[in-house]
Structure 1
Amino acid sequence: MRVAVAGLGFGRKVIVPALRATASTVVTALWHPDPQKAAAAAQAEEVQGFSEFSTLLDSDHVDAVVIATPPMVRADLARQALAAGKPVFLEKPVALSADEARQLRMQALQGELICGVDFEYRAVPLFQQLARLVQQGVLGQPWLVKLDWLMSSRADPARPWSWYARREQGGGVVGALGVHAFDLLTWLFGPVASVQARLSTAVTARPDPASGWLRNCDAEDVALIQLTFARGVVAQVNLSSVTRNGRGMWLELYGSHAQVVLGSSNQKDYVHGFTMRVARRGGALEQQEEESAHGFARTWPDGRIAPVARLLDWWAAAVGEGRPMIPGLAEGLASQMVADAVQKASATAMAVEIP
């Protein structure tokens, strides 16, 4: 499948090498709205370069499109690609609102086009192993879930202002980390029924990269969230991008029969470094080895490439076989509905139910 990549940040660092590692895909084009950047990147990657998205979609050398741009333009580009009859693979969040995500899903269904979403933790070996343990009932009756995702990437107030600082442009820790967390927990425990939340912005101004003057930040960099799942499980989710020496990502599951702790303190690589321990019926936590059935055939210094390559391979297979991709726009919509409910719950200081 001949694939074009829209976006030169994550797109070049992760998507391009992941596509090249997947036997079922080949990179044929790159897109960026700046013609000079598009041309320079295309020359470096030895592919075609485009600054007009419609021209890219008209190319005879493009069968499908990966959209790895900042969030504020993602849904519009996806709409254009779907209208041109191209399967799409989307970075998350798939849109700026659940309404946008719902429209994308309807458009894809009506056009019978396969769309994948980059929810990487579904493709990480120990998380796949955890999902199997939960499905097998090792926890017994799940009682409590606790997810701490405490990072320091934006703890320095001198870090320059960008779209990440603006809520209306899709910035903030809920879009960066939360949508991953919501998809992960929904994968494990089913749909979310209600949400309570408190969002805050610790770093309220950052220097403009061009002028040096301070610009306001209104996107949340701390989020305290409680999720209640339809099956009755309660989850406490704490997210932050401003925790100096933060502990990384740690997921704790407590049930009637067992406790599971899965996590990593590695803030430089959010795939490498995870460990999982299980305590059965009050016993001590015991280290679990990664099972070969879930392992990657190859890894890279950038840990993101291996799970993204796995997801892209699933996407290409789904396109080839004409069947839905999981995770796809249904999962993207479900995660975005929780993200929207989190914003509303924080703004109103009330619990928000999800239909």
Structure 2
Amino acid sequence: MASLPHARALAALRDRIEVLHAFSPSPERRATFAQAHGFPIAETIETIWNDPRVAAVLILTPPNTHLDLVRSAAAAGKHILLEKPIEVSTPRAERLVALAEEAGIRVGIVLQNRFRPAASALRELMQEGRLGPLIHASARTSYWRPQSYYDEPGRGSLARDGGGVLLTQAIHNLDLMLSLTGAPETVTGFATTSPVHQMEGEDMAVASLRFTNGALGSISATTCAFPGQPDIIELIGERGRAVLDGTVLTARFHDGTSLDVAGEDAGSGAGADPMGFSSQAHQALILDFVEAITSGRQPAASGRDVLAVHALIDAILHSRGQAVRVRTGAPGGAPVADYFEPPQASG
């Protein structure tokens, strides 16, 4: 399913990028893909690993296959652009990033929301300090997925996908928020599977956050919100407030100034059609990845960078209503025994 926006983006970037091979283990899917997009087809994956012309590979497979595929790509010396999430668990994600770094190859993660014009404008606003010190941050993902979506084999399962709404849908919005705010210090979260869906993973999650500077935050994520709406991020600082509503940014400041960025009419994928969005952000992400390879820098959404959102999701799922510290490399975080002050004596 994820191949469609990438194929469209690569077709639009044909003057910058040459697609040498496309491969799927299924001969039927290979034939359908070739007919739809016209890219050359490889009959075996070894054709890709052994082709010295191939500088990089784009991996658009289920999360539980990522570690083995990246291991093979790294051994072949290919840079990797990898669909989110990195892997089905934080430990496997960390191993993937480490083996790529040991091989000296670049790994970028497909989190294209970072590259929307309104998101870029918000990042610039934050870097300039126009909002002032952060005092509150919130991220809301209110999507709709019908039961037929989860009836597909493996979808929403722990073994194949690593979980539900957090790792599959909300990861885009959470990653974007963290790229603007940095990681929170502590998290208290709840996650559940509602009566709306029959699935193994969670379709609803909420969390409260506390950042190192004392700022507070909140997260909500669901695939039960019919008919679905675009992601929302709200940042409140000591000098103003900014709201990123899908592809539109609205910011108001205490000094009377304002900023409005009307994003592209790109769709959101928030409703029953998960692919209901344009490929414009994918084009920007792929170009950033190519420029990272040619210049020797890391991609904007590098594997090492994106481990932060995996650690946050891990902490939410393992919290079960208890405050935990968010620590990359410590699955689920660690309990925060001293987080709450003891109650004051009455009278």
Q: Which residue of 95, 99, 108 maps to 1:103?
A: 95
Give structure 1 stretches of 5+ with no counterpart. Answer: 1-8, 207-216, 265-273
Unaligned runs of 5+ in 2: 268-274, 328-347
Q: Give the letter aligned to residue 322 of structure 2.
A: M
Matches within 5 A, 1:318-337: 318-337=292-311
TM-score (norm 1): 0.81
Which among 281, 290, 293 is matched to residue 254 of structure 2?
Answer: 281
RMSD across aligned positions (CA): 2.6
Pick which of 106-115 and 60-69 moved more: 60-69
- Give the direction of change, closer, same or farther, for the CA distance of 1:253–1:282 in structure 2 (3 Å limit): farther
Call closer, same or farther: CA 1:15–1:262 in 2, change over 3 Å.
Answer: same
Q: Structure 1 residues 160, 119: closer, same or farther in 2, change over 3 A?
A: closer
CA distance in 1, matches of 2:156, 2:266: 32
Structure 2 residue aligned with 1:57: 49
Match of 1:17 in 2: 8
Shift in alpha-carbon separation, 1:323–1:276, aligned structure 2, 3 A: closer
Q: Secondary structure at the match of 2:312?
A: helix
**Paired AA for residue 344 in structure 1:** H
Corresponding residue for 2:214? 232
Quote the residue 1:168 is aligned against.
159
Matched position secondary structure for 2:124: helix
Q: Percent identity?
A: 25
What's the offset of the Cα at 1:299? Answer: 7.5
Equivalent in 219, 243, 262 of residue 201 of structure 2: 219
Query: Which digits, 9 at most, give the CA deviation of each residue in 1:120-163, with x for residues without a partner?
Result: 121100111011111212212211112221112x2x34555122
Offset of 1:14 from its aligned partner?
0.8
1:40 paired with 2:12, answer no
Matching of residue 112 in structure 1 with residue 94 in structure 2: no
Q: Secondary structure at the match of 1:278?
A: strand
Which position in structure 2 is the counterpart of 1:350?
322
Match of 1:260 in 2: 242
Q: Is the 1:151–1:247 Cα contact (8 Å) retained in structure 2?
A: yes
State the alpha-carbon separation in 1 of the partners of residues 19 and 284 from structure 2. Answer: 16
Distance 1:192 1:287, change over 3 A: closer
Matches of 2:58 and 2:148 in 1, distance apart? 32
1:62-101 CA-to-partner distances (Å, cap 9, x unmatched) read 3311011121212221221112111000111111122122
* Letter aligned with residue 110 of structure 1: E
Listed one character per residue, the Cα deviations across residues 36-85 of structure 1 (whole Å, up to 9, x for unaligned) are 32233234433332353233312345331101112121222122111211
Deviation at 1:313, TM superposition (A): 0.7
User: Which has a greater percent of strand?
Assistant: 1
Find the aligned partners of 2:261 and 2:289 in 1 and give their Cα distance: 28
> 3-state SS of the aligned residue for 1:33?
coil
Aligned partners of 1:178 and 1:339 also within 8 Å: no
Matched position secondary structure for 1:89: strand
Amino acid at match of 2:58: V
1:242 aligns with 2:233: no
Contact 1:204 1:218 in 2 (8 A): no
Shift of 1:254: 1.6
Check conservation: 1:172, 1:221, Cα contact below 8 A. Answer: yes
Amino acid paired to 1:18: A
Q: Mark the CA change 1:19 to 1:286 in structure 2 (over 3 Å): closer, same or farther.
A: same
Aligned residues: 317
Q: Distance in 1 between matches of 2:196 and 2:261?
A: 43
Change (3 A) 1:195 1:160: closer
Matches within 5 A, 1:111-130: 111-130=103-122
- CA change 1:20–1:196 in 2 (3 A) is same
Q: Distance in 1 between matches of 2:62 and 2:174?
A: 20
In structure 2, C-alpha distance between the alignment counterparts of 1:138 and 1:164, rounded to whole Å: 42
Separation in 2, partners of 1:68, 1:100: 17
- Aligned partner of 1:341 in structure 2 is 315
Deviations along 1:172-213, whole A, 9 cap, x unmatched?
A: 10012332223212211112322221111114765xxxxxxx
| TM-score calculated relative to the size of structure 2 | 0.83
Q: 1:157 to 1:102 in 2, by over 3 A?
A: closer
Q: What's the counterpart of residue 288 of structure 2?
A: 314
